[in-house]
Amino acid sequence: MKNRDIIKGVAILSLFVTSLMAIEIKSPTHAVDIAGKQRMFTQRILKDYAMIGMNNTFGKPDIDLKNTIEAFDDHMESLSKYTKSDETKKSIAKVKELWFPLKKLLLQAPQKEKVAQLQKDLDDLLKASDDTTKLFAKESGKESGKIVNVAGRQRMLSQKMASLYMLKVWGVEDAEFKQKLNDAMQLFKTSLDDLQKSQMNTEEITALLSKVKRSFIFFEMMSRSNSKFIPALIYKKSNDILVNMNSVTQKYVILQNKNK
């Protein structure tokens, strides 16, 4: 295995390492980051589910799915304990209400006939998680809270673009596939442009965003092609974006903590 593959594997693992221990949320902006990961997890779950359903073991999606489920549980509880806002607590309660029935299904072997409803339910969970993240961003009362929200959302969009393609490769029919993909790509592109213009950017953040832009070209290319793409390549490219956008999000959090 190449060194860069090892580094990337460690970076992906860092997304879930908090599931192995209690999460200590250290600031309002950190809470935005943690809440934002929940959005990403909803789409990563769908991507892994499709990979397992296709019997494709690239990236060990079975282990990844288990880790994601555990991380979602732990993040949810930590956010619930951290917030003092009744409005935010109510929003998290809605997330829990949607999550627990889904968790039972996800612990069973994937079935193609259930994936259409699963996608809808995960999109509902995504919306609820997004609502919670926006409330935490509002609680932070800082520009950095807003930018952490946008940067964190890019992590989710990387997984959403990939999950849509995975379902297509699996043979799941979706009349809205093209529109869903176009919407995700357009939001990713405009958000990336906004992030690249941010006054908060350091040289390191600027370099990471440039890498993300180069990786995003792969999805733009796929959207214009009628060819079928290899699931392993989709999985890898989406992880490249995820790792770099997670680093960007963490760096925005650190900058906010330094500027308290």
Specify if 13 maps to a domain.
Answer: no
Q: Which of 15, 11, 86 is nearest to 44 (CA)?
A: 15
**Tens digits of per-residue pLDDT, 193-249?**
999 999 999 999 999 999 999 999 999 998 888 777 789 999 999 999 999 999 999
Looking at the predicted structure, is the pLDDT value of residue 102 above 50?
A: yes
In a domain, 174, yes or no: yes
| Residue 229 confidence (pLDDT) | 75
Tell me the residue length of the chain.
260
Average pLDDT, the chain: 90
Q: Strand ranges (DSSP E) for 74-219?
A: none
Q: Is residue 10 part of a domain?
A: no
- Residue-wise pLDDT tens digits, 250-260: 999 998 877 65
> Residue 19's pLDDT is what?
46
How high is the pLDDT of residue 6? 45
The encoded tokens of residue 57 equal 């073991």
Residue-by-residue DSSP string for 181-200: HHHHHHHHHHHHHHHHT-TT
Q: What is the pLDDT of residue 75?
A: 96
Going by pLDDT thresholds of 50, 70 and 90, the confidence category of residue 52 is very high
Q: How many domains does the chain have?
A: 1
Say which DSSP state 110 is in: P
Residue 184 lies in a domain: yes
Provide DSSP, 210-229.
HHHHHHHHHHHHHHT--S--
pTM, two decimal places:
0.91
Cβ-proximal residues to 231 (8 Å cutoff; 6+ apart), any chain: 51, 54, 56, 58, 166, 169
Instruction: Report, as an integer, the average pLDDT of 89-107.
Output: 97
Provide the Cα torsion 57, 70, 119, 113; round to 10°: 60
- Give yes or no for residue 13 having a pLDDT over 60: no
Task: Please indicate, yes or no, if residue 198 is contained in any of the structural domains.
Answer: yes
**Structure token pair of residue 106:** 């996800």
Q: Is the pLDDT of residue 165 over 50?
A: yes
Residue 19 lies in a domain: no
Band of the pLDDT at 18, cuts 50, 70, 90? very low
Q: Which domain holds residue 182?
A: 26-258
pLDDT at 7: 47
Q: Has residue 17 been placed in a domain?
A: no
pLDDT-derived band at 41 (thresholds 50, 70, 90) equals very high
Q: Is the pLDDT of residue 107 over 50?
A: yes
Is residue 133 included in any domain, yes or no?
Answer: yes
